[in-house]
Amino acid sequence: MQSTHIIGEPHCHVFMIVGRPEWWDDAVAHLSTDPLLSETVDLYRDESISGHGEIFHTLVRSIVGQQISVKAADSVFNRLEEFCGEISRISVGSCTVDEIASCGMSKQKSLYIHGIATSQTPLLPEGYEKMEDRAIINHLMQFKGVGPWTAEMILIFSLMRPDVLSLGDLGVVKGIQLLVPLAQTKVEMELVAEAWRPFRSAACWFLWRGLDPVPVEY
């Protein structure tokens, strides 16, 4: 069930989706007819992306998850949550960099997370709902520690944008290449994913789900 959660942060309120996005059933119906993805979709059609309602939560999970396994990222994030309580800019910003690092993160990741938590810049600008995905990615990348991949995870898991193809994600690349071994370049992988429009975010989720015993969550 989808609901909307109001999040207060400097200069604006951010409306985030909690639970399954309203477009998910349409995505499953569309992707279940795709000869490449249909088997995976049928296996996991009762599961879905699930929004947490807090963009900072997704941002922290994404930074924690950079270049480590889903299982390892879950372990580190759970320790941070135990230490800080609810993951918010206030709770994490009140911790020191060393305290954040003590939860199993590198010093660099800890600096990034602490810097974002204590920044006065809104995580999303006014009117972001009407902004193109690329414009939101550019806004998010002004924060140290947020690159294209992290911004794409926020688009998929927090803003619930339906048509994000994250070719900077190794799991997505591996998933596509398992389906189409000849798709080696970015252009070739984009061509494979054309059939998944306008639900490439869901396609990414199913690619991840087919590779990992733990559902990807940010």
Q: Model confidence over 104-160: pLDDT tens digits?
A: 999 999 999 999 999 999 999 889 999 999 999 999 999 999 999 999 999 999 999
Written as one letter, the residue type at 36 is L
Beta-carbon contacts of residue 143 (< 8 Å; ≥ 6 apart): 112, 115, 116, 119, 121, 123
Ramachandran category for residue 66: left, alpha or beta (phi over 0 → left; psi -120 to 50 → alpha): beta
φ/ψ of residue 12, rounded to 5: -165, 165
State how far the Cα of 77 lies from the Cα of 65, in Å rounded to an integer.
9
φ/ψ of residue 17, rounded to 5: -90, 135
Other CB atoms within 10 A of residue 76 CB: 18
Q: Which tokens belong to 109?
A: 């990741």
**Mean pLDDT within 171-197:** 97
CATH assignment of 52-157, given 3.20.20.80, 1.10.340.30, 3.40.190.10, 1.20.1630.10?
1.10.340.30
Element counts in the chain: helices (H) and strands (E): 12, 3
Of 86, 136, 143, the C-alpha closest to 113 is 143
When comparing pLDDT for 133 and 68, which is higher?
133
The answer to whether 68 touches 104, Cβ cutoff 8 Å, is: no
pLDDT of residue 15: 52
Considering the chain, what is the average pLDDT of its residues? 90
184: which DSSP letter?
-
When comparing pLDDT for 51 and 152, which is higher?
152
Q: Where are the alpha helices (DSSP H) in 45-197?
A: 55-64, 70-84, 89-93, 97-101, 107-118, 133-140, 148-157, 170-179, 186-193
Prior bond of 162 cis (ω within 30°): no
9: which DSSP letter?
E
